[in-house]
Amino acid sequence: MKSLIQKLVETPGPSGFEYAIRDVIREAIADAADEIRVDALGSLIARVGTKTDEGMRVMVSAHIDEIGLMVTHVDANGFVRFTNIGGINPLTCYGGRVLFMDGTQGVIGMDVIGPGKMPKLSDLFIDVGATSKDDCPVKVGDVCGFERPFLDLGKRMVAKSMDDRIAAAVAIEALRRLEHTPHEVHFVFSTQEEVGLRGATTAAYGVDPEVGFAVDVTRSGDTPRFSPKMATALGDGPAIKVRDSSFIADPRLVDWMIKAAQAADIPYQLEVLEAGGTDGRAIQLTRSGVPAGCVSIVCRYVHSPSEMVDSDDVENAVKLLVKLLSEPIILG
């Protein structure tokens, strides 16, 4: 899957500007889906399977947007001020390189701040090599993402948008491998998750699922002096979400997912994420309510330009998702 993952993570697509990454995914699933459409907010929705008497209408959502920056002002010398798109930590920005949607590149600089002072986004600027406002190639409202190449460390992979392109890769591969299902499955590659679960909210209303699963990254609790403590680690398998700060997974689904993993001898871990949310909330709260769960891929350094995942976790997440979608869903 590494070639697919590399293509996904290196394609730009901050929230609201997912057109390039959507085209990449459409091409990747073109031969595997029964129907593909794009909704009004730009989410790509691929339907697979026909609902049987034992089946349900199932939504699987992996968001395809990434965190980024939007130009707010260009000064007389051509330096660019910006605001955030999604959760941006100023400490991970300084000296980083960015790529605008039109191909313009730049580097993030920082104003002089006092000793011991923590930088704010307002202390940062983008230098695109311009000498004045007139020759600056970007304007107010233009967007960029971080520019970092895919890094293959063998068992571990590093990139600037594993959140959530690694989940998109899992969903793509699960769709390709799903040979039979009693369900009508709608794979949603959702937009604008990083700014409020917007794409999944409208997609869930349109799909009207009877049950749903988000696929997303979660934090890793295995780095030195990690705080708060979290019972997740790279290499220990996909995580079955119990709760995060946006929703509590349906306990019936959690129990069924655990049993499915055990029956297939797929390693798994349980996840309680105290800060952060997923498309699971959008699915759960659609219309009159939907039982929802989440398959998570453990990730180090989330919302930084260098997010790390484990290749075995990714493969086992695919296996688990295929297992879940190949069988009747038991909520009793």
Q: Of 18, 173, 184, 193, which one is the catalytic site residue?
A: 193
**Distance separating alpha carbons of residues 59 and 47, to the nearest angstrom:** 9
**Distance separating alpha carbons of residues 243 and 214, to the nearest angstrom:** 12
User: Is residue 309 within 8 Å of 166, Cβ to Cβ?
Assistant: yes
Largest CA distance in the chain: 67
**Distance separating alpha carbons of residues 299 and 217, to the nearest angstrom:** 6
Q: Can 315 be counted among the known catalytic residues?
A: no
Q: Which residues pair with 156 in a beta bridge?
A: 153, 310
Q: To which residue do tokens 């794409």 refer? A: 199
For residue 310, count CB atoms less than 10 angstroms from its CB and return exposed for 0-12, middle for 13-18, buried for 19 or more. Answer: buried
According to DSSP, the β-strands at 239-243 and 269-272 are parallel
Residues recognised as catalytic: 193
